[in-house]
A = this chain, B = another copy of it.
Amino acid sequence: MLRSEEQSGGTVRIALVTGNRHKLEEITRLARSRRIKFYMASVPKIEIQSDSLEEIALTSARHAFEIIKAPLAVDDSGLFVEALNGFPGPYSSYVYKTIGPEGVLRLLHGEENRRACFVTVAALILPPIEKVFRGTICGTIADRPRGDKGFGFDPIFIPQGERRTYAEMSLEEKNKTSHRSRAFTSLINFLERLYEAQ
């Protein structure tokens, strides 16, 4: 089912639907095999409202595919706080922009259960294949923001087995175990198996 342009020179080219060049670099670094090449596709990204990151990412991917008609991957992420029934979840960027990390800390004030997980879902469309890959890293919400690296809720998230928040870790350290790396590592492993099988 693979068209010739996708495997010219033995390489599969996957468009990464994002406007973020750092994301492209991060994911390119994960694809050790030279057979898989990601490139950036800046198409308008439609995100639906849903409690499910899978549904959001897959709908974005299908929408982008309608436009670029080429194999592609799209990801969506969120921070899910257990004591807040998963809030802010799929709406983490809106919540970040409005009430911010301080708002999340306020909601958890006096709460003993500070468990939270960062989740990324990466959706792949490579006709006729449609597949989603989930990457999760759990940990706890800090008592106060710490660190100035990273972005979003990084200053209040402490990954399991660490004492530092994401914002106190270097980008390389964070990326090594991040939810996004995990999701894309699964996606890349899937692609490598697929092409080895041929």
Q: Give min CB distance, A164 to chain B, whole Å.
A: 27
Q: Mark A31-49, 1 if CB is under 8 A from B, else 0.
A: 0000000000000001111
Residues in B with CB closer than 8 Å to A88 are 98
Chain B residue contacts of A86, Cβ below 8 A = 98
In the bound complex, CA of A97 to CA of B51 (Å):
10
Contacting B at CB under 8 A, from A84-100, are 84-91, 94-95, 97-99
Q: Given A47-B49, A49-B47, A49-B48: A98 and B106 within 8 A (CB)? A: no
- Of B51, B90, B97, B106, the contact of A106 (CB 8 Å cutoff): B106
Name 18 A/B residue pairs within 8 A (Cβ), A-sorted: A46-B48, A47-B48, A48-B48, A48-B49, A49-B56, A84-B103, A85-B97, A85-B98, A85-B99, A87-B94, A87-B95, A87-B103, A89-B94, A91-B91, A103-B107, A106-B106, A106-B109, A107-B107
